Amino acid sequence: MNKRIYLCLAHMSGKEQQFIQEAFDTNWVVPLGPNVNGFEEDLQHFVNHREGEEDLSKEVVALSAGTAAIHLALIACGVKAGDEVICQSFTFCASANPVTYVGATPVFVDSEPDSWNMSPALLEQAILDRKTKTGKYPKAIIPVALYGMPYRIEEIMAIADKYGIPVIEDAAEGMGSRWKGRVLGTFGEYGVLSFNGNKMITTSGGGALICKDQAAKQHIMWLATQAREAYPYYQHEAIGFNYRLSNICAGIGRGQMTVLDEHIAHHKHIAQLYREAFAKTNGITFHDAPSEEFDANFWLCTAILDKDLHIHGEENAYAEAIHGAVGGAAGVVHGGGSVHTDCEPNRNVEAMRLFLDKAGIESRPLWKPMHKQPVFSNCPAYTNGVSEAMFRQGICLPSGPMVTDEDAAYIIRTIQEAINH
């Protein structure tokens, strides 16, 4: 196989160009316009629909990034400097970084072993302990749909309601994932979506915030457009932000919405291929939904390598320091020159990554827990060892709409060939 197989690349519907051309033809090349309005309407229709039940009435604001959505949600929830916000530790840094933008402190909570998402038991423990230590409750809770797997939202919401703490759902990886038939992002005070180039659908870059009603939407839109007051000149009485999605990017999003259901179905199909194959492969466990209540989109399919599983080339794992971005992880990185950190994937996981890379297959370790990141080393953390164990043993596999059945068969075969029996 000559082509390279990436983790998750966007797939165009063929209709994106039509919406983009309309934007140019009508001169709507700004962060507002018909495509932005149309994209928000499409998103609202999607998130509000519940099978067999009356539709919800959530409102959606299209923004420049999922990170921007979290930032604005924190501000709307009244989070300020000196406050604390409970964050899931097992996640990408964009879930926690915005907490620092407002001068607050992330308080990290570890995962429960089934979903890999925020542990409700540790969540309540953290809330009570922070109240004891600081004299006040955390100002918000941010659970994350890791790799598209739903969190235990009913338990999390019950705890949040008990202590009067708003929930900001980070469903950036979980667009289309559902809990008991209801779309993630519609349970809490706010819900966050992402349309980065590797997400379930893409606007090349962008995100959205699901709001509880029209008043909340108007407040977020006001913040996202520099917080202007109603005068014939520019009057500002609060700090605002330039966070609205452009009409061009929204045009891409409108085209992508036409294939969203198809993309979700394809991700689930690829997950089934991995599920069946790894059930017959000793030493590899597919991370599956704990029960039917967890309707995951399987944005990324993940697996756990038994710590005693040996991989060809394992003796060469971590032989050289990484100096650039790995695989499709584009961006500028610091070349630190160090081979090891105090928390890293096991040697067999790194050996598997290298084996797959040589075969033209991109894979990656799981997210490194935030409480093990040097930048957050001084933040409070309530841990149970789950996220560290998963990070040491887990691997992400190609899962996107560009992965064909033939690709999946090649990936599975290569993984099985990598095992040193």
- The pTM of this model reads 0.95
Helix, strand, coil share of the chain (percent; to 5): 35, 15, 45
Maximum pairwise Cα distance, the chain: 75
The per-residue pLDDT for 319 is: 87
Helix and strand numbers (H, E) in the chain are 12, 15
Does residue 185 contact residue 168 with C-beta atoms inside 8 Å? no
pLDDT at 366 over 90: yes
The pLDDT tens digits of the residues spanning 321-362 come to 776 666 555 567 777 668 899 999 999 999 999 999 999 999
Q: Report percent pLDDT > 90 for the chain.
A: 86
The per-residue pLDDT for 326 is: 65
- What dotted CATH number matches 16-259? 3.40.640.10
As a whole number, mean pLDDT of residues 394-402 equals: 96
361: which strand partners? 5
Confidence class for position 23, pLDDT limits 50, 70, 90: confident
The per-residue pLDDT for 177 is: 98
Does residue 96 contact residue 87 with C-beta atoms inside 8 Å? yes
Q: Which amino acid is at 23?
A: A
d(CA 220, CA 57): 17
DSSP state, 82?
A: T
Interacting residues of 145 by C-beta distance below 8 A, sequence separation 6+: 117, 151, 169, 170, 171, 172, 173, 174, 177, 184
Residue 157 sits at φ, ψ, to 5 deg, of: -65, -40
- What dotted CATH number matches 261-418? 3.90.1150.10
The pLDDT tens digits of the residues spanning 288-328 come to 999 999 999 999 999 999 999 999 999 999 988 776 666 55
- Measured CA distances, 248 to 18, 34, 201, 208 (Å): 11, 10, 15, 15
Q: Using only the alpha carbons of the chain, give its radius of gyration.
A: 22
The pair of three-digit structure tokens given for residue 42, joined into one six-digit string: 């499409």
Residue listed under structure tokens 């979290």:
70
Residue listed under structure tokens 């969203």:
260
The per-residue pLDDT for 337 is: 65
What are the residue boundaries of the structural domains of the chain, listed by start?
16-259, 261-418
Crossing angle of helices 405-418 and 260-278, in 10° steps, is 30
